[in-house]
Structure 1
Amino acid sequence: MGKAGWFRIIPFAVFMAFIGVQQILEWSVVKGWLDLTAQQMLYLYPLKTVLVLALILFFWRQYNELHLVDFKNLTHTIASVLLGLLVFVLWINMDWGFTALGESKGFDPFLVENAASRNLLIFFRLFGAALVVPIMEELFWRSFMLRYVITADFSSVRIGTFTLTSFLICAVLFGLEHNLILAGMMAGAAYSGLLYWTKSIYQCVLAHAVTNLVLGIYVLQTGFWHFW
């Protein structure tokens, strides 16, 4: 795999590690070992966002699969935006209880009374979900994992190469990464399908970003925090 793989794994691994840390902290609070409020726990997200973004920027020169020129293909770009919107619509209609991996407490910034602190949390949540997460996840899932399942020398595989095995494995794993498993599998399959058509990681980032941004706006408007 070499260093190229780790450049794409590390930001994702750090992001997932924070989820594990949060679960440990919540468990410690239940046990009475720590005295942390739900409001204080919300600040883990800005910390996670800043750290993962710093890692992405540190490794940025290694991501030779990211080409801004890809957005000049207006057909692909418009399709990416539309796909992102479609995934959002499907996502909020696939919140079936039997498909959920545990109970999601969500991210409710209105637990914080101070307006400035609350707005800062909202900014970081939207910024992280709509920019940092799409770049991090698409580099890991669509650039690295889809190709790594084909061969350990993943960089020798052309971006957007299709095999049924890699497609199914990544769709399932992407679903398991999320609280709503089937919705996650649907999104993973959709973004991979976009990659096979456009051969562009940036188009996948765009679609993913649209989904997450619109979802964030929807959550703020409706108060359905479990989607966050």
Structure 2
Amino acid sequence: MKKETFSRVFPFALFMLFIGLEEFARFLQGKDILQVGTHAIYWIYPVKAVAVGAVLIFFRKHYREMRLGDLGRPTQTVASLLVGLGVFWLWVNMDWSFGTQGAPSGFNPNVFDDTSRTGMTAVRLAGAVLVVPVMEELFWRSFLLRYIIDGKFSRVPIGTFSWASFLATVVLFGLEHNYFLAGMMAGAAFNLLLYYTRSISQCILAHAVANLALGIYVLQTGQWRFW
């Protein structure tokens, strides 16, 4: 596997591996095979966030499509901010039972004491805003969206449209999330933003805004299922 592919696939694969580890730990806990409290499983998240963040930093030179200068385009940046806020608003209003893959476990920081609660909440928010948007946008909209069009994805311009790549990434992005219909909505919104801006950086911004708004909402309302 070439570095251009590996550097975008591996962070996502590592992230999903940690999610699988979390779900397996919950399964063992539910069967009374793993005798630990819920708070112990929560400690997997900071390890996941740090590990994936470190991998992204290690491969940073390969992400030439991430250009901060793109955010200097006022019209596109405003559009990204609005898309992020729109995705957040729709997400919290699409928590339909038929659009959910099982009961969401969520993250409730109240299982920790005051000191640990503050630290875990900060890590959770930082991971959702600083790590996840970069990791996911590099995989879904920089790599997979182009890879479906051409196996030699790096020669496909950012923001190239095809129905096959659009629909496949929307469906798969949705299935990655517990609220899969909300996930499909977000995947479609970020794809459309990419076609408009031709910028991965703008998609990362929109994704980060959506996650930040959701994090603030969760902390204000105690709707932990969204975390």
Shorter-chain TM band: over 0.9
Which consecutive residues of structure 1, in runs of 5 or more, have no partner in the other structure? none
Match of 2:150 in 1: 151
* 3-state SS of 1:61 partner: helix
Match of 2:43 in 1: 43
Match of 1:182 in 2: 181
How far has the Cα of 1:70 moved from its partner?
A: 0.2
Counterpart-to-counterpart distance in 2, 1:30 and 1:226: 18
What is the one-letter code of the residue matched to 2:18?
Answer: F
Match of 1:132 in 2: 131
* 3-state SS of 1:117 partner: helix
How far has the Cα of 1:72 moved from its partner?
A: 0.8
How far has the Cα of 1:41 moved from its partner?
A: 1.0
* 3-state SS of 1:47 partner: helix
Give the ranges of 4+ consecutive aligned residues of structure 1 lying more than 6 Å apart after TM superposition: none
Match of 2:34 in 1: 34
The Cα offsets for residues 84-103 of structure 1, whole Å up to 9 and x where unpaired, read as 00010000000000010111
Match of 1:214 in 2: 213
What is the one-letter code of the residue matched to 1:122?
Answer: T
Counterpart-to-counterpart distance in 1, 2:21 and 2:175: 18
Within 5 Å, which residues of 2 pair with 1:101-116? 101-112=101-112, 114-116=113-115
What is the one-letter code of the residue matched to 1:12?
Answer: F
Q: Are residues 1:76 and 2:76 paired?
A: yes
Counterpart-to-counterpart distance in 2, 1:35 and 1:21: 16
What is the one-letter code of the residue matched to 1:111?
Answer: V
How far has the Cα of 1:27 moved from its partner?
A: 1.5
Counterpart-to-counterpart distance in 2, 1:33 and 1:180: 28
Match of 1:199 in 2: 198
Counterpart-to-counterpart distance in 1, 2:75 and 2:39: 44
Match of 2:85 in 1: 85
Match of 1:172 in 2: 171
Counterpart-to-counterpart distance in 2, 1:20 and 1:37: 18
Q: How many residues align?
A: 227
Q: TM-score, normalised by structure 2?
A: 0.98
State the identity as a percent. Answer: 54
Counterpart-to-counterpart distance in 1, 2:79 and 2:9: 28
What is the one-letter code of the residue matched to 1:191?
Answer: F
Counterpart-to-counterpart distance in 2, 1:17 and 1:28: 16
Question: Which deviates more, 37-46 or 133-142?
Answer: 37-46
What is the one-letter code of the residue matched to 1:130?
Answer: V
Counterpart-to-counterpart distance in 2, 1:39 and 1:132: 22
Which consecutive residues of structure 2, in runs of 5 or more, have no partner in the other structure? none
How far has the Cα of 1:33 moved from its partner?
A: 2.3
Counterpart-to-counterpart distance in 2, 1:88 and 1:221: 14
How far has the Cα of 1:31 moved from its partner?
A: 2.5
Q: TM-score, normalised by structure 1?
A: 0.98
How far has the Cα of 1:116 moved from its partner?
A: 1.1
Counterpart-to-counterpart distance in 1, 2:213 and 2:82: 12
Match of 1:4 in 2: 4
Question: Which deviates more, 191-200 or 26-35?
Answer: 26-35
Match of 2:55 in 1: 55
Counterpart-to-counterpart distance in 2, 1:141 and 1:60: 17
Counterpart-to-counterpart distance in 1, 2:34 and 2:217: 33
